[in-house]
Amino acid sequence: MSIEVRNLSKRFGSFSALRDVSLEVRPGELLALLGPSGSGKTTLLRVIAGLETADDGRVLFHGEDATDQHVRERQVGFVFQHYALFRNMTILENVAFGLRVRPKKFRPTDKEIRRRVHELLKLVQLDWLADRYPHQLSGGQRQRIALARALAVEPKVLLLDEPFGALDARVRKELRAWLRRLHDDMHITSVFVTHDQEEALEVADRVVVMNEGRIEQIGTPDEVYERPASPFVYEFLGKVNLFHGRLHQGRAWIGEIEIDAPEHSEAEELPAIAYVRPHDIEIERVSSVSMMNGDADASTRLAAQVSHVLAIGPVVRLELIRNGDQGKEHQELIEVEISKERFRELNLAQGDEVLIKPSRFDLFPRQIH
Amino acid sequence: MSMSAIAVSAPVQGRGVRPTTESAWIRRSLIGLALAFLTLFLFVPLISVFYEALKKGLDVYVAAITEPEAAAAIQLTLTAAAIAVPLNVIFGLAAAWAIAKFEFRGKSVLTTLIDLPFSVSPVVAGLIYVLMFGLQGWLGPWLAENDIKIIFAVPGIVLATIFVTVPFIARELIPLMQAQGTEEEEAAVILGASGWQTFYRVTLPNIKWGVLYGTILCNARAMGEFGAVSVVSGHIRGSTNTLPLHVEILYNEYNFAAAFAVASLLALLALVTLGLKTLVESRAKRQEENIREH
Cα dihedral across residues A324, A326, A330, A333: positive or negative: positive
Q: How far is B199 from chain A (nearest CA, A)?
A: 12
What is chain A's Cα-based Rg? Answer: 26
pLDDT band at A329 (very low <50, low <70, confident <90, very high): low
* CB of B70 closer than 8 Å to CB of B246: yes
The helix or strand, by DSSP H or E, that contains position B217, with its residue range, turns out to be helix B204-224
pLDDT (0 to 100) of residue A264: 77
Residue B13 has pLDDT above 60, yes or no: no
Pairing of strands A353-358, A281-285: antiparallel
pLDDT band at A47 (very low <50, low <70, confident <90, very high): very high
Q: Is B205 on the interface with A (CB under 8 A)?
A: yes
ipTM of the complex: 0.82
Q: Report the C-alpha gap between B262 and B247 in whole angstroms.
A: 6
What is chain B's Cα-based Rg? Answer: 23
Q: How high does pLDDT run on average in chain A?
A: 87
Q: What is the mean predicted confidence (pLDDT) over B7-13?
A: 45
Flag if B190 and A51 touch (Cβ within 8 Å).
yes
Reduce the DSSP state of residue A128 to 3 states and report it: helix
Q: What is the mean predicted confidence (pLDDT) over A265-294?
A: 76
Residues of A in contact with B193 (CB under 8 A): 72, 97, 101
Which has more pLDDT, B287 or B8? B287
pLDDT (0 to 100) of residue B15: 55
At B239-271, the pLDDT tens digits run 788 888 888 888 888 887 888 888 888 888 888
Q: Is A163 on the interface with B (CB under 8 A)?
A: no
Distance of CA A147 to the CA centre of its chain: 21
Q: How far is B112 from chain A (nearest CA, A)?
A: 23
Q: Is A140 on the interface with B (CB under 8 A)?
A: no
- The CB density around residue A260, as the number of other CB atoms within 10 Å, is 9
Give the residue ranges of DSSP H helices in A262-318: 288-293
Residues of chain A with pLDDT > 70, as a percent, come to 93
pLDDT band at B1 (very low <50, low <70, confident <90, very high): very low
Which has more pLDDT, A253 or B11? A253
pLDDT (0 to 100) of residue A326: 64
Flag if A71 and B294 touch (Cβ within 8 Å).
no
At B121-159, the pLDDT tens digits run 888 888 888 888 877 778 778 787 887 787 788 888 888
Residue A23 has pLDDT above 90, yes or no: yes
Flag if A49 and B190 touch (Cβ within 8 Å).
yes
pLDDT (0 to 100) of residue B6: 43
pLDDT band at B236 (very low <50, low <70, confident <90, very high): confident
At A177-211, the pLDDT tens digits run 888 988 998 889 999 999 988 899 999 999 999 99
Residues of B in contact with A85 (CB under 8 A): 184, 187, 294
Q: What is the mean predicted confidence (pLDDT) over B214-226?
A: 87
Residues of B in contact with A53 (CB under 8 A): none
pLDDT (0 to 100) of residue B262: 84
pLDDT band at A328 (very low <50, low <70, confident <90, very high): low
Which has more pLDDT, B172 or A295? B172
Query: At A253, which amino acid appears?
Result: W
